[in-house]
Amino acid sequence: MHIAFHTPEYPHKSIKHSAGIGTSIKNLAQALCEEGHRVTLFVYGQKKDAVFTENGIHFHLIKQRNYSFGGFYFYRKHIARYINRNSAGIDLLEAVDWTGMTAFCKFNMPHVIRLHGSDTYFCHLENRPQKKKNYLFEKWALQKAKAVSSVSAFTAQKTKELFGLENEITVIPNLIAVEDFRPVHSKSESTYILNFGSVIRKKGVIALAKAFNLLAAQLPDVRLKYLGKDVKDVLTGKMTSVLIAQEIDTVYHHRVEFIDQVAYEEVSNYINAAAVVCLPSYAEAFPMTWLEAMSMEKALVTSDIGWAKEMMVHGETGFMVHPEDYHKMSIYLTDFLKNEPMRSNLGKSARQRVLENFSIPIIVKQNIAYYKDLLRL
């Protein structure tokens, strides 16, 4: 098979942005190539046009274009025309659901959409207003797709409800290259808590700051590190790091560190150095950050919302708590920091769960079977 991906992100030095979606596509693309299939990437919104091949994957970077009027329509049409001109041999095109970028588009090959979390989905989970056009574009895109899959059953069900979809949605979890996130059994810093990913409200980073105040009052050496891009808050217009600093008592500011984005290959070093990883998100689909921490056998405290129960097992792979319950969050963090054997045991269980359920050899087979079934329809 020859599978193509229509995406705004991918972890590569020539591509200007990547987050969890890009990582999940990379893992799948590389796995498909290793299984003998061909893969092409159409990465839009880039600084310049470029075409190249690397590690068997064909890259097409599509430059962002600006229009004096109707850019939401004309740029989508431009992307579709570009893909159609370069579609020879492609059997299936997969796109993401974010902002409905395949709305208005007609492709030379069947196309499907994978739910990583639409704007509609995240606005619903965060209880914030949404632009009407984003809802319409996402709905049209989903209705036009040959099929829809989702990285979690929770995201699938919520998406069906929000858009009134009737067709079944196939659930295939994100996959992780466990060999890239192996545990390193050097001594971690015993009082270092890590939060990584975008520094944004929906990731529960402000709730974590509240929990840290309670921790810092009890443990004189505890420290907190936020690793990731600082994002302007949608509600206040301030940078999220400013909101975190406002939440944390001034006397504890010297124990909190913000680290800007680092190369993808360096993330595992920060995870390994931490005693505990805390990812108390309000809104996710099936987060790669959680899989990466679990794969590295880290003691993990996460939120307990929807998708979380498809990934974590409370008390076995870590602890789950609602982000608003920062008192309980601080208790779980304290328990981990004071009990190294518990950190180790739950961390090992977390990696085992990833190996058995979310590793590449298991999930790539599900994707291949899904694509083959679609091409037979």
CB-count burial class (<10 Å; 0-12, 13-18, 19+) for 89? exposed
pLDDT digits (tens, 9 = 90+) for 187-198: 555 679 999 999
CB of 72 closer than 8 Å to CB of 136 = no
pTM: 0.92
Cβ atoms of 165 and 195 within 8 Å: the answer is no
CATH of 178-357, one of 3.40.50.300, 3.30.470.10, 3.40.140.10, 3.40.50.2000: 3.40.50.2000
Taking each continuous run of H as one helix and of E as one strand, the counts in the chain are 13, 14
What superfamily would CATH give domain 2-175+359-376?
Glycogen Phosphorylase B; (3.40.50.2000)
Strand arrangement of the beta sheet that strand 2-7 belongs to: 50-54, 57-63, 38-46, 2-7, 92-96, 111-115, 148-150, 170-171
Q: pLDDT-based confidence at 245, cuts 50/70/90?
A: very high
Residue 20, pLDDT above cutoff 90: no
**Contact yes or no for 216/255 (Cβ under 8 A):** yes
Least confident range of 113-127, 147-161, 179-193, 362-376: 179-193
Per CATH, 2-175+359-376 and 178-357 having the same topology is answered: yes
pLDDT tens for 266-283 read 888 999 999 999 999 999
Domain spans of the chain, in order of start? 2-175+359-376, 178-357
